[in-house]
Structure 1
Amino acid sequence: MEDFKSVLKGEVVINAPIEKVWELWIDPVHIKNWNIISNEWHTPIAKNDFRVGGKLYLKMEALDKSDGFDYECIYDNIIPFNEISHVGADGRKTKLDFEETPQGVKVTESFEPENHTPLDVQEAFCQSILDNFKRYVEEGS
């Protein structure tokens, strides 16, 4: 996204049809199963009003409840099977690109970083979630 202030990225290639990748990305029942940083975390609440102007709400927390946070955003662009973009409650922009390639569906997440966490930690967080998504889709969800 050319209008981002600064951009961090994560990327995976998933061996599955684009329709399956898309559906598992947007369905809150599935989001709760793959939106995980590590085995010590989970997403107990996922709500998704998937339309331009609709809101995504995620509650992520450590299994022992020692840490956690809420994530909210409003969708500002949706091109089915191609692109999703949204603006978080804090004003940061995120864009997801879904591209069919001979190797599978490439999912690229580009996002504006927040100011309180080191950039490498934010990028690793994003990549971890994308890696979990890839495993979830490919292992048969």
Structure 2
Amino acid sequence: AAVYNTGSVCAAFLANVDTKSDKTVNFSGNSYHLPAWSVSILPDCKNVVLNTAKINSASAISSFVTERSKEDIEQIYTTADRSDYLWYTLSVVDLKDDPGSQTVLHIESLGHSLHAFIIGKLAGNQAGNSGKAKLNVELQV
């Protein structure tokens, strides 16, 4: 859960990153059903006002486009400001077998949240807030 508190105001986001199975989670003394691959928004940390799995819109995800780049890309320019979502995939080939070295994935983002998967498993995540959206994550591969 990502929880944001300012004084007496509280908001929470409950996420289920499992792409196949629904989950039931306990949060703040209450039980919540989270459909697979969805986020529930609780603007008062109690009541769900929206779950992303229940959005039924043909324009929600119209298509996926693959673009290859040898340089970093910027989200708003790349998506033409039509989407809040951008999926990065990185493949590393021919790593030298050096017993004394450790491969580290370093990610910097101005996004509000980040979920990093390595070989299909969640390796780490981080969430910023309205005061500090910048994220810096280092993960050992």
Query: Is TM (by shorter chain) over 0.5?
Result: no
TM-score with structure 1 setting the length = 0.28
Is the radius of gyration larger for structure 1 or structure 2?
2
- Larger RCO, structures 1/2 (Cα 8 Å, 6+ apart): 1
- The structure carrying a bigger helix percent of its residues is 1
